[in-house]
Amino acid sequence: MITTMEGKNKLKVGIFSDSYHPYVSGVVRSIEILKDELEKLGHDVYIFAPNYPFVMKEKNVYRYFSVPAPTQRSYFLPIPFSPRLRYQVKNLELDIIHVHSPFLLGSLGTYIAKRFNLPLIFTYHTLYHRYAHYLPIGKNFTSNIINKWNKKFCNQCDRIIAPSLFVKKLIEVNGITTSVDVVPTGLTDAYYNVNDDENWLRKKFNFNEKEKILLYVGRLGKEKNLSFLIEAMKEILKTKPLTKLLIVGTGPEESNLKMLCKNQNLQDNILFSGQINHQELLKCYTGADIFTFASQTETQGLVVGEAKASGLPVVSLYSPCMSEMIFNGKDGFLVHNLETFIEKVLYLLENENIAKAMGKRGKLNSIRFSSSILGKKIENTYLDAIYQKSLLPLCKVK
C-alpha cells in the first residue's frame, strides 16, 4: 500500500536477485546503489537474495538457502522456495517487485508479483547467452535455451529497465514487447569527490615514481577478455618497459590468468590485487594513469563510468555499449583491434598532458550518470508502472 510522505508517495519495494553481497559483481553494485538512492528518496527497500556462509544479518534483507554453483564455487545459487514468503510479502505490504535476474529468485519474484497483483519490473543487467560457458552443457544448446527463456520471462514483466540504449534495441529486435526504459546504473558522489592520493597506490604495490600504471577493474571471467589486455601489455612493454598493469578484482579465471602472465614472463609487470574494499578501489582509480578495458559482453560497463568520474582517460575495445560510455577521441579511445589498442595506450603514455585533459573531460561527461539523477528516474518508472497497473482489471490468482 502506497503511503504519503510530505506530499509524495512512499513506496515499499521488493528487490529479488540471484546475486548479492558478499559476492562481488556489477549487478550487486548496481543493486546496492539503487537501494541507497531509493532510501534517500524516502522509500523502503527489501532485498530477497541468496545466503552465503558466515554472512551477517541485515535489516530488510531476506536470505534463501543456497548452494555453490558447480562451475564457480564462490557463487551461490539460491533455492527459490520459502513457505514463509507469501506471509512475509503480505505483512510488508509491498507496492512493487523489481527483479534483477530472469532465473531463480527472479522467477520467484515474478510469482509473487502475480500472486499479489503487483507491478513487475526487470532490470536487464546481463547478456545471458554470452555466459553459457559457466554451464556444464553444450554452449550453443545452452544459449538457445537461455534466449527462449529470457524472451518468455521479459514478456511477463510490466516494465523492463535497460542500462544502455544498445540493450534496449537488442531487447526490441528479439521480439520482446514489454515497454523498455533506459536507465544506467548511477555513479555515487564518492567517485567525483575522492581526494587524489597517487602515493597510496604506488606504496601499496611498490610502484616507483617513474612507472606508469594501467588499470583494469572487474570480475576475472572469460567473458571479460583479459587475455587481450595481457597480450597488449606484452607489446607495450617493448616500447615502454616502465609500465605496470594492475588488475583489480577476483573471479574464476584468476589462477589461469596468473599462469598466463608467468608463462609469458610478465608477472613483474602485471599485478593482481585480489579483492579490495571500496575505499581502496577509489584510491586505485585516482592513482592510475590510464584505464584499460576489453570486455565485449557489457550492458553498460559501470567500471568505465567509475574510471571516468575519477578522472582517468580510457582505452577500450569497441562494443556498442562502450560507444555510449566513451566519447571517442575526447575522453578516451574506442578501438577495433589489438594493434590500435596498443597504439592508443602508447600515445597516452607518451603525451601526459593530453591524457590528463582527456581525464578531465571524462570527469565532466560522467556527471550524466550521477546516481541521484538516475535514482529519480527509477522512482518515476516505478510510479508510472504502478499507475498503469491500476488501470488494468484485477487478476485473481488462486
Please report, for residues 153, 185, 299, 322, the alpha-carbon distance to residue 164 in angstroms, rounded to integers and kept in the order given. 20, 9, 6, 10
The CA-based angle 26-16-75, given to 5 degrees, is 50
| Strand extents, DSSP E, 138-281 | 159-162, 180-182, 212-217, 243-248, 270-274
Instruction: Let me know if 229 is exposed, middle or buried by CB neighbors in 10 A (0-12, 13-18, 19+).
Output: buried
pLDDT for 138 = 46
Rounded to whole angstroms, the Cα distance separating 113 from 99 reads 10
Cis peptide preceding 22, ω within 30 of 0: yes
pLDDT for 3 = 61
Superfamily (CATH H level) for 189-368: Glycogen Phosphorylase B; (3.40.50.2000)
CA R_g for the chain: 22
Q: Is the dihedral of CA 184, 47, 177, 298 positive or negative?
A: positive
Helix (H, G, I), strand (E, B) or coil at 69: strand
Segment 289-335, tens digit of pLDDT: 999 999 988 999 999 999 999 999 999 999 999 999 999 999 999 99
Q: For domain 3-186+370-390, which CATH number applies: 1.20.120.1200, 3.40.50.920, 3.40.50.2000, 3.40.50.11310?
A: 3.40.50.2000
- Cα 44 from chain centroid (whole Å): 23
pLDDT for 198 = 66
Rounded to whole angstroms, the Cα distance separating 20 from 29 reads 8
pTM: 0.88
User: Which residues in the chain show pLDDT less than 50?
Assistant: 7, 132-134, 138, 141, 395-398
Residue 337, all three cell numbers: 583491434
Residues of the chain with CATH 3.40.50.2000: 3-186+370-390, 189-368
